[in-house]
Chains A and B, each alone.
Chain A
Amino acid sequence: MMDILIVLEDNNGRIHRMGLESIVAAQKLANGMSLSMGALVMGANGDALAEEASEYNVGEVLKIKNEHLSSYSSDGYAETVKQVIEQENPTYVIFGHTYQVRDYAPKVSAKLMKPFLVDNVDVSPNEGNVVFTKQMFNAKLFSDVTPTGDGPYLISFQSAAFSSEKADVGSAAVRNCTVNLDVSMIRTESEEPFQEEAGGIDLTSADIIVSVGRGIGKKENIALAKELAQALGGELASSRPVVDAGWLPAAHQIGSSGQSVSPKMYLALGISGAIQHVVGMKGSKNIVAINKDPEAPIFEIADYGVVGDVLEITPKLTEGIQ
């Protein structure tokens, strides 16, 4: 039994970054309301995930091994989380707002007829009235949302809403749990995941990202940003217009339809800061923006700003670093 159940996702044998972020959110809620916690791991890598999860202050770790969970299916995972909720009776069930969670957590909500408050950027624990903050209208507005009626309430948090580095460490005991699954429950068959093109890059683990926007002007100028990225030992990324124009392959795209990153430094060259881009990089520890337009919205989230010509500054900066 626990008040808060954190559902952690597998990312190749490690806890998904957004799972670690959801631990921070859960800890904030637990501390604010004096609530108990537990963390759930499942799937083929359950042992490794349980070991990793046990190093955090999460109350206890629940581990489920079941042959029907060795690969992901929305039916299998939804049924599992539903059964664990029925066994443990938590008030809050916390997820990272990953693509996998978007796929199966709504099914848990429907099975239990309990709300799923999605993609929150903050939680404010108050006496008996917990408020969740969510962006609406593609982040042009914010909203405060509260669950109504009795729990459990399913809650997910937006990528980088919390910093995984702030997770309290601890030593949680691991408890084995069981669920009853039957092959007839699973109505999907999955093939192996694949990447669309060779040379797909994982920008999410880069410490330094140099990202180009439409302001770079033309395809030939991409080389300037690439040289700067190399000089910094970082990765090259871009906003969507650069990909749509065919200046860089889609694998480089940051934003709501691309990758979400939170590097140590995000250097934005000629990026205006449209919200579709910003949601993918606003969690960066340091944002440096160079743009010729002083009114560009990128400056609202930048830690350091330069109003100037990227074509002039970029090659000089490469030289300065070398």
Chain B
Amino acid sequence: MKIAVLVKQVPGADSPLPIQSNQNWVDEGAAAFIMNESDNYALEEALQIRESMGEGEVVAVSLGPDRIQKVIREALAKGADRAIHIQMDTEGVIDPLVTASHFDHALKEENFDLIFSGLQSDDLGMGQTGIILGEMLGMATASLAMATELGDGRIKVKRELEAGWFQWVSLTLPASVSIQSGLNSPRYPSLKGIMGAKRKELKVVTPNVVDATQSLEKVYLPKSEKQTVMIEGSADQIVEKLVETFRNEIKVL
């Protein structure tokens, strides 16, 4: 079983996100980068499949400037067998068709049985790259995986539907599956893993030129959305005013 995992480096949840003065993008020099959350789960799922089958290869693939080698090394330290770095400046690159085309170009000779990706990135939140790549490579696809089972040349995926519903879907291999956060418990790299990662293969490739189909005009801070009516007083006065608001303003009583 040969599995590719798409991993992305994104600013962490608590990272500063200062906007550039030209509003083109955030100032990446001020950001604190980590591995995208759902990609971390996707990597763990791939490692567990390789371990339970006792054979196979997990290849971490990432696209971006040199800074992303930090998450590539992290993936190798956790147990990926080798890695591919598609090296390019990604500032202002938001088009999933462009990104997926670069992955397609880098991976089409590899003949992976499975491609795992995180459901969506915590920066752009497009949620498409793994599915588009699967389509480009002629693979079956599924999104929002909360569990996976392999057997008989197929992968069964427990898909999260809306409003607390789930559905098992069986896909022919090869397949590209996007992984939802929370389906496993991602490991931390061991010291041995960190040392070993330095000796693993990290292939750096350069992408083709691909025309964008959507463009980022500007980024900006959210505007304050509402005038809030503050209700004040003692607890009893507040309750009285709330009941009146429920009855006369919101009309739910």
Contacts and interface: CB of A to CB of B under 8 A. Distances in A.
Given A194-B166, A300-B224, A146 B243 contact: no
Nearest to B130: A106
Given A136-B123, A188-B170, A195-B165, A145 B228 contact: no
Interface of A: 74-75, 78, 98-100, 102-103, 106-107, 109-111, 113-119, 131, 134-149, 153, 187-196, 200-204, 207-208, 232, 250-251, 257-260, 264-265, 285-286, 288, 299-309, 312-313, 316-317, 319-321
A320 B244 CA distance: 10
Contacts of A307: 230, 232
Interface of B: 11, 13, 17, 19, 26, 94-97, 100, 122-128, 131-132, 134-136, 140-144, 159-172, 175, 181-182, 211-226, 228-232, 235-236, 238-240, 242-243, 245-246, 249-250, 252-253
Contacts of A303: 226, 228-229
A142 B238 contact: no
B162 A146 contact: no
B243 A107 contact: no
Nearest to B143: A103
Given A300-B228, A306-B231, A306-B238, 15 more contacts: A78-B135, A99-B161, A106-B96, A107-B131, A107-B134, A139-B222, A142-B221, A143-B220, A148-B213, A193-B161, A193-B166, A250-B164, A303-B229, A316-B235, A316-B239
A195 B229 contact: no
A188 B142 contact: yes
Contacts of A204: 163
Nearest to B181: A257
Contacts of A305: 228-231
Contact of B135 (A111, A117, A288): A111
**Chain A interface mostly:** mixed
Given A98-B162, A312-B235, A321-B253, A109 B222 contact: no
B215 A148 contact: yes
Contacts of B17: 137, 140-141
A264 B252 CA distance: 8
Contact of B127 (A102, A189, A259): A102
B95 A304 contact: no
B125 A136 contact: yes
29 contacts: A75-B140, A99-B161, A100-B161, A103-B143, A111-B135, A116-B96, A135-B125, A137-B17, A143-B216, A144-B220, A148-B214, A188-B172, A189-B169, A189-B170, A193-B165, A194-B165, A196-B166, A200-B163, A204-B163, A259-B163, A259-B164, A264-B252, A299-B228, A301-B226, A304-B242, A306-B238, A313-B239, A316-B235, A317-B243
A145 B168 contact: no
B230 A306 contact: yes
Nearest to A113: B97
Given A74-B141, A115-B97, A149-B211, A202 B163 contact: yes
A147 B214 contact: yes
A300 B226 CA distance: 7
Contacts of B238: 306, 308, 313
A139 B139 CA distance: 32
Nearest to A159: B162
A304 B171 CA distance: 49
Of A116, A259, A264, A308, chain B has the most CB atoms within 10 Å of the CB of A116
Contacts of A200: 163-165
A187 B17 CA distance: 42
Nearest to B227: A303
B164 to A, nearest CB: 5
A115 B218 contact: no
Contacts of A110: 97, 100, 131-132, 135-136
Given A110-B132, A136-B124, A312-B235, A147 B213 contact: yes
Nearest to A114: B213
B159 to A, nearest CB: 8
B141 to A, nearest CB: 6
B211 to A, nearest CB: 7
Nearest to A250: B164
B167 A192 contact: yes
Contacts of B97: 109-110, 113, 115
B123 A265 contact: no
Contact of B213 (A149, A258, A313): A149
A141 B236 contact: no
